Structure formats: C-alpha cells, structure tokens
Structure 1
Amino acid sequence: MVDGIKRVVVIESTHWHAPLYYSALQARDDVKVVGVSDSAGRTGEEVARRFGCNHYVSTTEMLERERPDFAFVFGRHVDMPNLASALIERRIPFAIEKPCGLHTADVLALRQRAEAIGLYVAVPLIFRLSDTLAVLREAGGTLEQGSFRFIAGPPQRYLAAGVPWMLDPDLAGGGPLINLGVHFIDLFALLADDPIVSVSAGSSSRMNGLPIEDVISIRLLTSGGRLGTIECGYLFPSDAALQRDFEFACRMERSYCVSREDGILVRSWQEDGSVSAKRHPARFETDLYYPEFVRRVLDESAAGAVPFAGLAEAQRALAVVEAAYLSAAQGGIAVDPRTFEA
C-alpha cells in the first residue's frame, strides 16, 4: 500500500459477474486497480483500459509484478482453488466468487490454509446483503420452514457471455444448483441456525439436452427438524425486461413471509392471538448488491475484521451441493452433507 492507496487486482475478468464490481472500485479514492488478468483473452484489455492499468494473460506474472494489497478473483470454477492458493501463498487478502471450487474438500483445504495465517477471504453470498434477509430477520426468530424457487434464463446465455465452460460439469461442477442454488442453501442455513443433516434431490437434463442439469429440486432437513426446499434451473424465457422467476415462502417462529411482486408480505401472530399483515418493499434483483459487497469487503479487510461470508460458508454450501448431486444420481436417497466436510 502506497500513500494509503490499496493496490487491487482483478483476476480472470472474463466472468459475467466481474462488471458488477467495477463501478464500486472506481468510486473508491483509497483504491487503485493496478492489474487485470484474463487468460481467455476476451475482456482483459478493455477492462485494463477502463482502469488505466496493465493487462496480463498470466495471473502469476501479474501477482509477481504488481504486488497487490487485495484481489478480486473470478475465473472458471475448476481453476478457483489454484488461483486462491496463489494468493494464500503470497498472503494477499482476497474476495473470490462462489463456489470457490468443484469439491468441498478443495474449499476446506483453502479455508484451513487461510485460517492458519489469519488471511481475510470473502465470498459473495450476496443474499446476506439483501433486503430479503433484512425483512426475514425483522420478522423475528429462526426459520422453521422455507421454500425457495429461482429459475434463471436458458444456458445459451453463457455461450453468449463467452463462458462456455459453464455448461461443462468437469469445469463448472454442475449446473444451476452449484451456480445459483448455493445462495439459497446459505440463506436457509443462516436463518435456520441448525446443522443440515440430510439432503435429497431429483434433477432433469431432458429439456436442454446438456450434461448439466436443466432443473433440480432439493430437500434439506436439519438436526432440529427444520425443513427447506430449493428449486433452481435454467428454464426461464428471459429478456432485458425480466431475467428470472424468483419466489419464496418462509415460516419464521411467529410469522409467515412470502415474496410478492412489489416486496415481501409478512403475516404475524400477535400476543392477543390476532394476525397482522404488512408489506415490506424489497429489491430482488441481486445484481444491485454487488457494489455493496465491494465496499463491504474492502472496509472489512482494511479494519482487520472477519468477513461477513467466507470460505467456511462456501464450504458448507458446497457440501450440500455435492450431497444433492449424489442423491439425484442415486434416485433421491437421503445423503448427509457432513460426510463431504470430514
């Protein structure tokens, strides 16, 4: 860090989430982006021009030459463990896109290495910054039952974005569950505050004809008997006006919260036995929260704070993903996700 300015790098800029970070980085007077790497050779030069910095094909060369104080890590899921390892080895704090790897064991190894040296590592489990979480928290108590559905646009959008690897399970780890479902696994686990001990799932690849799932439905059961269901897929006829189908319903201890087009309806039991109803405005477009993620992690790392979401949470979510894929492959049998974290 020179004159109080944190030197930041962007690793593997050819990722559809990377542009969501740029405006927040440019808005910081205490941050200078000094390098952009892009081994795919698609967006790196343009992004580097935007920040007035150097462009690299090799992340290793960029880290050696630029000596950053912080990194934002993107890239293919299969490459994430090696990219993260390079930063841990150099003791460079970073934020890394989910799922952080293909397997729980990879993320566990990263977590153990980072924790051993006290290194800051954040993961954008973005619903932790959302209006949705704020309203559910305000409703009070723990989550007793939750149902979440998130159906995104068709997989061809990843071809258009220049990331065809997202449709290859050997490179991406799977389809919508590992890409989208991790957010709702994390949200359920956070609100239930109870270990997930059983996962069962069913999936289909019939409609899009790809080796990744088109749609998957999973059931989560905690040690205390709390129940969650998550359905996600690449099926929605999306366009610029409407990109996805998203809805949820959550039973909290004394209230029932359900998504509506204009926000969240909360129906609560009062002390006298009556029921109150209130609509809360909520922004469901998750892209809106990434600038806040950038601000949050830069401030947390500068203050020496613990990340609001990190490798421990990514590890827990990925264990559930692996359990769900195993369950679906074996006809929906129940699988304990903790076996993947041993």
Structure 2
Amino acid sequence: MKIVLAGTSHWHADMHLDAARDAGAEIIGVWDEDEAHAMGFAARNSLKAIAAFEDVLATPADLILLMGHPSNVPARARRMIEADIPLILEKPAATSTAPLIQLRDLAHRRKAFVGVPLPNRFGPAVTAFERLRREGRAGQVAHGHFRVVNGPPERYAADGVGWVVDPAIGGGGALRNLGIHGVDAALSLASGELHLKAVSMGNRIHRSPVEDYALLVLEDDAGAVFTVEAGYTFASMRPGGDFEWRIVGANATLIDRGDKATCATLDDAAVVDLPVELPATRYRLSMRDTFERLRRNAAPAISMDDYVAAMSLIDAAYQKAGR
C-alpha cells in the first residue's frame, strides 16, 4: 500500500507514521500547509516532502491520511473524494457538524472510501466482546463506561496546535476532542437509538474557554446505560492519562485500562487477561484493518456515518449543558 501523510503538524502525525510503517506501507510522501514543517518532518523520518497540495492529489497513492486545521480540512477532503482517492480523515475534520454531513453525503454519492480513525474500536475489550457476541456468549449489553482523561490543555500549545482549545475553531473542549471516542463506543454497542439522559461539564481546574471535564449519561432503546467521561484533568503530561473502557453484558464483563485488560465470563467462571495494545499505538490496529478492507474492496470499519452520529450527539450534549 502506498500512502501519503497530509498534515504533518497535527499532533497525531507521529502516531500515524508509526502505524503506517507497522502495517508495511510504503510512505511515498508527506505534506503540510506549513512547508517548512513538512520538510522537517520528512528529514527526521527519512521521507520525501511534497511541496504543494496539488502534488498530493497527483501522487500514485492507494490511500491518503488527511490531518489539519478544521477550517481547511473539509475543502481538501472534498477534493480527495472527488478525485476518487481512498481517504482516512483525522479528527477534528471541521469546527461543526454541518461540513461533515456534506462530506458524508458526497462520500455516499461517489461510493467513496472515507475512514475515520477511532482506534479504541480495535482495543482488547471491544474486540473480545464482539468475539463473545459472535459466539452467542456475551449476553445482552447492560452498561458500559468509557473514560479518557488526559493531561492539561497546555499540551496542545506545546505541540503548536493551541487552536484545539479555542471553541471557535476546535468546536468544543475535552468532550469534542477526547469524549468522541467514548461516544462512538456507546453508539457502536447501542440497541436502537441512543438517548442523552444527563450531562455535566466544567472547567474548575484550568479555567480555559472550553470545558476541561465532561460526563454524559446515555441510554439506548433496550435500556442499556452508558457513561462517557472526558477531561484534561489528569495531573501529568505522560501519555495514556486516565483511561478505562468497561463493557458489561449478561454473561461477560470486559475491562480495558490501557496497559491491562481482562475478560470475565459467568458461563465458564473464567477471568482471563487479554492481549494489550496501548491506546497510543492502537492506530496500528486501525491502519492494518484499513489496508485489509481496501484490499477486499470493503467499506471502512468506521465511516463518516459514525463520525457524524458521534458529533451530532456531542452537539446535543453541548446544547443541553447550555454551552
């Protein structure tokens, strides 16, 4: 697979580079709207820098991974879709949901491959639960809890992307940026529609323009309850922060704490450790899955439909919280 990484100044660029290399891709070029940044990134990683966005579109890439500032990404994504180039669209791809709906509709019309990297879908608790469900052993979902609490928002300024905590650009705070992973997890497990029951947000610690902590309570049509916790309140800049994915079915409890994961099942009284991939390197799993689906001419595991659904629910949470 030949891949171009477009938008090297995004804070996930190194993670995607690692993922592409781990998946055996040939990285045929890197680009950024800041040409000097792209050249520096290329030099550090022994890659070729692409000078102009037009040249990105002209490459013989099997796949382009697009990252960047939310004000510019939608137009660039549109051009890639119209050029029939398979695309991974990194978040945040827009300040609001409306441009994403337009991209989703365009992707549908053109039958385009547009994947969205939400790599915790490939984490150990989720994949083990899906395996149990295929075997008929998971039981009805009862509840789930999804927590991503990272270090202070200053981390984004240090990475040169301070706009992440500007609500006029990033579209929100910890919920929009980090909580989308948990919202997507709840949507993927829900039976029927997912309803927003309660929301609480605050910024008591950092007093930034955006929330540094958010908690959502969600319930699906079958009565399963999901909670989503997101924050910038972990008292350290170390990768990983405070992470937990908990899925509970009638016969199974699965817990993923990032560096350790377990699965307990009632039918055989077993509690087993699951193979672990750290949250920061789960992009490897997402990239491998993307390549395999492209080879099979299959749809992406996580599509624009999923992205729009999560963004829309987050919109409703901000509205309910009066933000």
Work out whether 1:263 is the aligned partner of 2:256: no
The answer for unaligned runs of 5 or more in structure 2 is none
- Distance of 2:172 and 2:261 partners within structure 1: 31
- Distance of 1:48 and 1:249 partners within structure 2: 39
- Distance of 1:69 and 1:263 partners within structure 2: 35
Instruction: Give the drift of 1:260.
Output: 5.9
Q: Report what 1:125 is aligned to.
A: 118
| Matched letter for residue 263 of structure 1 | K
Is the CA contact (8 Å cut-off) linking 1:219 and 1:228 kept in structure 2? Answer: yes
Instruction: Give the drift of 1:160.
Output: 0.9
Q: Report what 1:85 is aligned to.
A: 78
- Which secondary structure does the structure 1 equivalent of 2:107 belong to? helix
Instruction: Give the drift of 1:126.
Output: 0.7
Structure 1 residue corresponding to 2:14, chosen from 8, 13, 19: 19
Q: Report what 2:50 is aligned to.
A: 55
Work out whether 1:43 is the aligned partner of 2:41: no
Is the CA contact (8 Å cut-off) linking 2:198 and 2:216 kept in structure 1? Answer: yes
Q: Report what 1:211 is aligned to.
A: 209
5 Å-filtered alignment, 1:284-303, equals 285-303=278-296
Label 1:160 to 1:87 Cα distance change in 2 as closer, same or farther (>3 A). same
Structure 2 residue corresponding to 1:254, chosen from 238, 248, 251: 251
- Distance of 1:81 and 1:199 partners within structure 2: 31
5 Å-filtered alignment, 1:193-212, equals 193-212=191-210
Moved more, 141-150 or 218-227: 141-150
- Distance of 1:43 and 1:136 partners within structure 2: 41
Instruction: Give the drift of 1:28.
Output: 6.2
Instruction: Give the drift of 1:317.
Output: 0.8
Work out whether 1:186 is the aligned partner of 2:190: no
Q: Report what 1:172 is aligned to.
A: 170
Q: Report what 1:144 is aligned to.
A: 142
| Matched letter for residue 115 of structure 1 | H
| Matched letter for residue 245 of structure 1 | D
Work out whether 1:114 is the aligned partner of 2:107: yes
- Which secondary structure does the structure 2 equivalent of 1:246 belong to? strand
Moved more, 100-109 or 82-91: 100-109
- Distance of 2:23 and 2:224 partners within structure 1: 42
Is the CA contact (8 Å cut-off) linking 1:77 and 1:173 kept in structure 2? Answer: no
Post-superposition Cα deviations, 1:172-217, rounded to whole Å, max 9, x if no partner, equal 1111111111111111121223321335311112321211111011
Post-superposition Cα deviations, 1:68-107, rounded to whole Å, max 9, x if no partner, equal 4421011123433222112112121110113432333322
Moved more, 167-176 or 31-40: 31-40
Label 1:257 to 1:21 Cα distance change in 2 as closer, same or farther (>3 A). closer
Q: Report what 1:340 is aligned to.
A: none
Moved more, 194-203 or 107-116: 194-203
Instruction: Give the drift of 1:48.
Output: 2.6
Percent identity, aligned pairs only? 27
Instruction: Give the drift of 1:239.
Output: 4.1
Question: C-alpha root-mean-square deviation of aligned residues, in Å?
Answer: 2.5
Label 1:47 to 1:260 Cα distance change in 2 as closer, same or farther (>3 A). closer
- Distance of 2:197 and 2:116 partners within structure 1: 23
Instruction: Give the drift of 1:27.
Output: 5.6
Moved more, 129-138 or 62-71: 62-71
Is the CA contact (8 Å cut-off) linking 1:35 and 1:62 kept in structure 2? Answer: no
- Distance of 1:123 and 1:64 partners within structure 2: 19
The structure with more radius of gyration: 1
Label 1:295 to 1:201 Cα distance change in 2 as closer, same or farther (>3 A). same
- Distance of 1:21 and 1:261 partners within structure 2: 19
| Matched letter for residue 36 of structure 1 | V
- Which secondary structure does the structure 2 equivalent of 1:134 belong to? helix
| Matched letter for residue 170 of structure 2 | A
Number of aligned residues? 317
Moved more, 221-230 or 283-292: 283-292
Instruction: Give the drift of 1:65.
Output: 4.4
Post-superposition Cα deviations, 1:212-257, rounded to whole Å, max 9, x if no partner, equal 11101111122222211111100112244x6401224432122333
**Scaled by the length of structure 1, what TM-score is found?**
0.84
Instruction: Give the drift of 1:64.
Output: 4.8
Label 1:23 to 1:214 Cα distance change in 2 as closer, same or farther (>3 A). closer
- Distance of 2:151 and 2:176 partners within structure 1: 15
